[in-house]
Amino acid sequence: MLKEQRALELSHVEKLMPTMGRLGHRLVSALLETIVHDSRKHAALCQALIDVEAGEAPLTLDTDMATALELHQSVKQHMRVEEDMIRRVEAMMERVEDDRVRAVLGYILSDERRHHSILQQLSNLVDRDTTAFDEYLDLFQKYMVVPP
């Protein structure tokens, strides 16, 4: 069933892409882009579950020290970028008078804050010697299944 769902998600992406390219309305195109992005994400999640079930993905993040350090540094760097994006969007929201624009910026700000929280928790998990699959799954469920 996961393989079928993955294929369905990817076929949905393929069907939407040509339509997106022909649109002249940037906001409608952006809405469709978020759906395409989510469909790709869903397909990747299905594949991750397939890999775990097939025993092809480890249940712990067991990697060499250089790779772990690189991952940790990348996460920390992205956290700094997220902090800057949060400050920028907050500043824009203070200046915007149009409630419709403010609502879109609020959505972006909410996403950026959620991303920052995810990265903080991921950083904590990556920094440990071993982390079980269930801990990564809990992180996913906390921030992606039911966003705060």
The residue among 35, 57, 79 that closes a domain is: 57
Q: Which amino acid is at 125?
A: L
pLDDT value of position 11: 94
With H, G, I as helix, E, B as strand and everything else as coil, classify residue 90: helix
pLDDT value of position 94: 95
The verdict on 81 and 14 lying in the same domain is: no
The verdict on 17 and 66 lying in the same domain is: no
Match 């928790």 to its residue by tokens. Answer: 121
pLDDT digits (tens, 9 = 90+) for 1-58: 999 999 999 998 998 888 887 888 888 888 899 899 989 999 998 998 888 887 766 6
Match 């990747």 to its residue by tokens. Answer: 44
pLDDT digits (tens, 9 = 90+) for 76-119: 999 999 999 999 999 999 999 999 999 999 999 998 998 898 88
The verdict on 67 and 140 lying in the same domain is: yes
What gap in Å lies between CA 81 and CA 79, rounded to an integer? Answer: 5
The residue among 30, 57, 84 that closes a domain is: 57
Q: Say what the pTM is.
A: 0.74
The verdict on 67 and 130 lying in the same domain is: yes
| CB proximity list for 124: less than 8 A, separation 6 or greater | none
Q: Which residue has the higher pLDDT, 85 or 60?
A: 85
Q: What is the domain extent for residue 107? A: 60-148
Cβ atoms 78, 59 nearer than 8 A: no
